[in-house]
Amino acid sequence: MRITRKSTILSSVGAALLLGLTACAPAGSAGPGGVDETDAGESTGNGPYSLEIAESPEFEEGTTMAELAEAGTLRVGTKFDQPLFGLQGPDGTPVGFDVAIAALVAAELGIPFENIEWTEAQSAVRESFLESDQVDIVVATYTINDARKERIDFAGPYFVAGQDILVAAGNPEGITGPEDLAGKPVCSAEGSTPAATISEEYGAELLAAGGYSDCLDPLRNGQVVAVTTDNVILSGFVDQNPGEFELLGETFTEEPYGIGLPKGDDAFRTFINDVLEEAFEDGTWARLYEETAGTVLEVPEPPAVDRY
């Protein structure tokens, strides 16, 4: 899979070239201000993502949905250090596509944006945060896989990323793919799928960080030769640090992003899957992407929900 970047952010030219950029922003797509005409009129202006908040939604008694709607708050685990998907803003509230997806779920429960309680959920703690009831859902560039499904459940996917490699601008080590990283120091986040893949499948010497933003200084100062994780996360770092880094632009895994929820709560999982499917169909999903990650990345087609 290749990702492309929009023509509006051509500042990091080297990185853009390596991303296979073809200046292909679709006509009518939202710019960094993020206003899309496609569903104008349906939005009510609630919160930063203009989501319509369900008014007194009815849920079967005893369900998680009924409990959350009654409580009027949703506790969400997300990333705080990943531009485009989950990045903590100056007021402490995160912004990004994952944040918008969480806000969508909250809105359908009748919970406005300001009543969402955000907790930073770094890669290694996501399952345990759900198991210990510290959060109600995790929306955090969270790959659905069988090992994780032994501890928690996933709704979705709502996006499909792929693992890629970030190197210093100019690619001084001449790295062309994961095979070149065997025996070399590479940074990734502890507990993540890319960390496991690069060390176990490609033999890299892993520097395990708490979050991916912690990998940038080691790459700058040469402690590692590359940072690896999902392409969209790395694109956010390229965009935020013009001229410093390059993305190889060739993915070598599939990372379907799911919404993590406590294991066995099938009614809650079905509800979230319904919310996602509706948002795929009515254009809300595309609008939320355009207003967040889509300010830098091409807007993809929504994936198919997997109701396992």
Residues that bind ligand GLU (CB under 6 A): 123, 140-143, 189, 192-194, 229-230, 255
Neighbours of 306 (CB within 10 A): 13
The region, left, alpha or beta by phi > 0 then psi within -120 to 50, assigned to residue 47 is left
Q: Which is nearer to ligand GLU, 110 or 262 (CB)?
A: 262
**Preceding amide of 157 cis, omega within 30:** yes
Least Cβ distance, residue 126 to ligand GLU (angstroms): 8
Q: Which is nearer to ligand GLU, 39 or 263 (CB)?
A: 263
Q: Which is nearer to ligand GLU, 141 or 295 (CB)?
A: 141
Least Cβ distance, residue 295 to ligand GLU (angstroms): 20
Q: Which is nearer to ligand GLU, 178 or 194 (CB)?
A: 194
Least Cβ distance, residue 196 to ligand GLU (angstroms): 8
Q: Which is nearer to ligand GLU, 144 or 279 (CB)?
A: 144
Sign of CA dihedral 52, 55, 59, 64: positive
The Cα 119–Cα 26 span in angstroms is 35
Least Cβ distance, residue 22 to ligand GLU (angstroms): 26
Short-list 18, 11, 38, 43, CA closest to 27:
38
The region, left, alpha or beta by phi > 0 then psi within -120 to 50, assigned to residue 16 is alpha
At residue 56's C-alpha, the angle toward residues 53 and 61, to 5°, is: 125
Neighbours of 74 (CB within 10 A): 23
Structure tokens at 298: 């091409």
Q: Which is nearer to ligand GLU, 113 or 154 (CB)?
A: 154
Show Cβ contacts of residue 226 under 8 Å, excluding neighbours closer than 6 positions.
165, 166, 167, 173, 175, 181, 184, 186, 187, 219
Least Cβ distance, residue 161 to ligand GLU (angstroms): 6
Least Cβ distance, residue 141 to ligand GLU (angstroms): 4
Q: Which is nearer to ligand GLU, 162 or 262 (CB)?
A: 162
The answer to whether residues 126 and 116 touch, using CB atoms and an 8 Å cutoff, is: no
Least Cβ distance, residue 190 to ligand GLU (angstroms): 9
Q: Which is nearer to ligand GLU, 108 or 230 (CB)?
A: 230
Q: Which residue has the tokens 């710019």?
A: 31
Least Cβ distance, residue 210 to ligand GLU (angstroms): 11
